[in-house]
Amino acid sequence: MKEPFEVRRTKISSGMKVVMARRDKLPVFYAVLVLHGGSVYDPPGKNGVAELVSRFLEKDTLNFTRREISNLIEGLGGWLVSDSGHYTQQVKLGLISKFAHHGLSMMAEMVINTRFTREELEKEQKKLISEHNDELTVPSEVLSYAFNSGIYHNHPLGAPSDGVVETIQNITLDDLINFHRKHFCPTNAFLVAVSDLPHEEVVSMAEDSFGSWECNPKPALPELPKVAPIKGKHAIIVDMKISQAFIALGHHAPMRNDPIFNRLVVANFAIGGGRELSRMMREIRIKNGLAYSAYSVLKGGLKAPGVFAAQTETKAETATDALKLALDIIRDVHEHGITEEELTMAKSFFQGAIPRMAESNKQIASALINCELYGLQDFYWIKEIEEIASLSLDDVSSAVRKHIDPDNFVMAVVTDTEKFKPEIRGVTFDKIKVLSPDDFKTLRPLED
């Protein structure tokens, strides 16, 4: 396929990389500043530092109040927000192209001249703890906590990216200042910009806004601990007095840039990623009427293994039946692969769906960020269409036998334990933990 636009990369005088894509369709400028400084780099026992730093980006800076910044950007018909995840901090900007210079100047102000105060820290800590406590009343959120803690155990990825009550309340102002000083550096960042503007103009604006950004040499990011392999069958059951059962069952997945990844994308489509076209939907919901939803997800890893997970929501009394069906589907695909019909449906789906993943400026920026973070080729989404179209049943089957495992997994269930017992014929769990939502206010669920 023909490449739909040109991608260019350069570095400005501060050492920051700029990645640009030009599209002439609309006079819209969309940019994301990405910093390698997510929650996996939080100081030990201080989970939540990266999230709090991200929140301070949207407050008063050393030179402007937040109201002044908001009034300027909104007055230009745009928006400017910050976000934090496990691996990165991101500041996102969208506005009309002719005002891009103003937007980038305010973006730079946010990240370079961040202002930290004790008063605002105390406010944000209380707010973050309140949000966390609220999440622990939502079964789907508790399921995410439980499943991730089982998959990643005591690795930083096993904890919520915004921390837990125990760690949030231990964070000091110096923790935020030191984190910002260490990670907010031009050589630890890259800017992705998608617009109708000439590349040279984007580089000039980036130079004006970020060219004088100074810092120490590029920080040496701490080496992350290894993720322990999942051996055997492990169950984490969280007791909530609800009538439903929220279930996640899965294990580690390969890195996103692994050559085998697209073969697993096709297998996942057949298992549950294809929703109405998948086995999970047919067997669990349509045929047996056991679930409100039934699907699977596949996420490739970055600096640690990714995740494959089959998920469903059913009545507490039918949770065991739904689990058995999900395991049967995973085992059958592991042992026999997918069918010719499923392969054909997957190819047809991705032939139409993948191009739509890079239509808007926002989508293209997201794809370019993936290229930078995961080491993917430019226009990887186009190349993946071609790769998936050429896959054979044997290609998919060989990948499944290696990476979809019905014998080594973590099962997390959030339900009323009086109505649910993990008794599945032929399945003996090596380890069962029974927890309450309040256990996730600390990091202890991650411990042995």
Contact assessment for residue 195 and residue 29, using Cβ atoms and an 8 Å cutoff: yes
- Strands (DSSP E) along 355-438, which ranges? 409-415, 431-435
Tokens 């969280």 locate to 238
Backbone torsion region of residue 325, taken as left when φ is above 0, otherwise alpha when ψ lies between -120 and 50, otherwise beta: alpha
Q: Which of 66-80, 85-99, 203-217 has the lowest mean pLDDT?
A: 203-217
The region of weakest confidence among 113-127, 297-311, 353-367 is 353-367
- Average pLDDT (206-217) is 90
DSSP three-state, residue 179: helix
Q: Among candidates 140, 73, 410, 401, which has minimal Cα distance to 252?
A: 410
Least confident range of 183-187, 244-248, 380-384: 380-384
Segment 201-215 mean pLDDT: 96
pLDDT of residue 428: 77
Q: pLDDT at residue 359 above 90?
A: no
**Mean pLDDT, rounded, of the chain:** 93
Q: Fill in the amino acid letter for 32.
A: V
Is 80 exceeded by the pLDDT of residue 2?
A: no
> 């073969």: which residue's tokens?
263
With beta carbons less than 8 A apart as the criterion, state whether 163 and 39 touch: yes
State the pLDDT at residue 445. Answer: 67
Confidence at 427, pLDDT banded by 50, 70, 90: confident
Position 76 pLDDT exceeds 80: yes
Residues near 290 by beta carbon (within 8 Å), at least 6 away in sequence: 284, 312, 314, 315, 318, 321, 322, 325
| pLDDT at site 68 | 97
Give the mean pLDDT of 72-80: 95
Distance CA 252, CA 445 (A): 19
How many secondary structure helices (H) and strands (E) does the chain include? 15, 12
Dist. CA 57–CA 59, nearest whole Å: 6
Highest mean pLDDT among 152-156, 196-200, 419-423: 196-200
288 CB contacts (<8 Å, ≥6 apart)?
A: 321, 325
Domain range list for the chain: 7-210, 233-429
Handedness of CA 34, 35, 36, 40 (dihedral sign): negative
Judge contact between 5 and 22, C-beta under 8 A: yes
The model's pTM:
0.93
Mean pLDDT across the stretch 69-80? Answer: 96
Examine domains 7-210 and 233-429 and report if their fold is the same: yes
Q: Which tens digits make up the pLDDT trace of 252-265?
A: 999 999 999 999 99
Which of 3.20.20.10, 3.30.830.10, 1.10.260.40, 2.40.50.140 is the CATH number of 7-210? 3.30.830.10
Q: What is the number of alpha carbons within 13 Å of residue 199 lying toward its C-beta?
A: 13
Sign of CA dihedral 362, 274, 406, 417: positive
Q: Are strands 306-315 and 291-299 parallel, antiparallel or unpaired?
A: antiparallel
Q: Name residue 291's beta-bridge partners.
A: 314
pLDDT at 183: 94
Q: What is the pLDDT of residues 269-298, one digit of tens each?
A: 999 998 888 999 999 999 999 988 899 999
Nearest to 410 by CA among 142, 143, 151, 141: 151
Does the domain at residues 233-429 carry the CATH identifier 3.90.1300.10?
A: no
pLDDT at 1 over 60: no
